[in-house]
Amino acid sequence: MRVAFLGLGQMGSPMARRLVSAGHEVAVWNRSREKAREIEGARAEDTPADAVRGAEVVMTMLADDAAAQEVALGADGFAAAMAEGAVHASMSTISPALSRRLAEEHARRGQGYVAAPVFGRPEAAEGGKLRVLAAGPKEAVKRCLPLFDAVAQQTFDLGEDPPAANVVKLCGNFIIASMIETLGEVFALGRKSGVAPEALLDVLGTALLSGPILAGYAKTIAESRYEPAGFKLRLGLKDVRLVLATADAAEVPMPVASALHDRYLAGVAQGLGDLDWSGIARLAAESAGLDG
């Protein structure tokens, strides 16, 4: 399949490589052209519009709403260069509101749109072990499935309304962020009470944290290993803000999310924004009088 992949960060680069390995014809674009040149077997293009010409599916993995909107709909955005009938699969964590706007803009141009954010860190992207949350018109989702199969171990069908996938993604990220804060507090309590982090990790990992995501974050916090970042703390702040904005629009009180927002904001304010988002555990340790 002819594919354009836009956005080659820690998640996008391994995903693009997997598409090439699966035999797809891949054109790539990234703000820093060097990243595009690193994808062997792919065609590096200078602009998003150049990359999407002739593509059957355009996949985007961009940092936030501002980047996603600019690259798709800005003055030099790719939507105007996409072929009629082509599909945009947005795999970024963006707001439901922007997802709705993208769906409407693509429909106006006779193009398809699928919201397809993913669960998984860069190592999962490298191994094709992501989980895709897909929502959009059935035929558009069906066209994207071979591409999702190349980068993920599972695709969830969340219906034909694209923002539904973005809401589910934000719900999942909120759970992870909440558990990171909880684990940070737990390990601070253990350390302050004389319990070795590795001993606490052994018990929690065996008895309570059987899933790979939470077990992985528990290990990171126990070892105070927040670099290199799989997902930056400043992006965690962005996601919590999206959760709160979505909750506000739906008139759903989320007091834990409000507390998390302040924790992530404090981390960014203290210069920790480029640490892994589990680095808010350092703030919990420091609040308890411990070294982060």
Do 179 and 152 share a structural domain? no
Write down the pLDDT at residue 209. 87
Q: What is the pLDDT of residue 172?
A: 96
Contact assessment for residue 61 and residue 11, using Cβ atoms and an 8 Å cutoff? yes
292 lies in some domain: no
Looking at 35, 129, 138, 169, which residue is catalytic? Answer: 169
Does residue 184 sit within a domain? Answer: yes
| pLDDT on residue 55 | 98
What's the CA gap between 131 and 119, in Å, rounded? 5
User: What's the one-letter identity of residue 9?
Assistant: G
The CATH number covering residue 112 comes to 3.40.50.720
Confidence (pLDDT) at 292: 74
In CATH, what number is assigned to the domain containing residue 276? 1.10.1040.10
Per residue of the chain (292 residues), give pLDDT as tens: 999 999 999 999 999 999 999 999 999 999 999 999 999 999 999 999 999 999 999 999 999 999 999 999 998 899 999 999 999 999 999 999 999 999 999 999 999 999 999 999 999 999 999 999 999 999 999 999 999 999 999 999 999 999 999 999 999 999 999 999 999 999 999 999 999 999 999 999 899 888 888 889 999 999 999 999 999 999 999 999 999 999 999 999 999 999 999 999 999 999 999 999 999 999 999 999 998 7
Tell me if 42 sits within 8 A of 14, measured CB to CB. no
Residues 92 and 145 in one domain: yes
For 113, phi then psi, to 5°, come to: -140, 130
245/175 same-domain check: yes
The pLDDT score that the predictor gives to residue 49 is 97
**Residue 83 · residue 109 · CB < 8 Å:** no
Task: State the sign of the Cα–Cα–Cα–Cα dihedral 192, 194, 197, 202.
Answer: negative
Residues with Cβ within 8 Å of 110's Cβ and at least 6 positions away in sequence, in order, are: 84, 85
- Cα atoms in the Cβ-side hemisphere of radius 13 Å centred on 160: 3
Q: What pLDDT is recorded for position 290?
A: 94
225 and 140 fall within a common domain: no
Residues 153 and 264 in one domain: no
> In terms of domains, do 193 and 154 share one?
no
Split into its structural domains, the chain has a count of 2
- List the structure tokens of 93: 């964590």
Q: How many whole angstroms from its chain centre is CA 184?
A: 22
Torsion of CA 153, 158, 163, 164, to 10 degrees: -110
Q: Quickly tell me which residue has 């693009």 as its tokens.
A: 16
Is 169 in the active site?
A: yes
Q: What is the pLDDT of residue 213?
A: 86
For residue 194, what pLDDT is reported? Answer: 95
| Structural domain range at position 206 | 166-287
The verdict on 37 and 182 lying in the same domain is no
Contact predicate 91/61, CB 8 Å: yes
Q: Which of 146, 161, 176 is the last residue of a domain?
A: 161
User: What's residue 291's pLDDT?
Assistant: 85
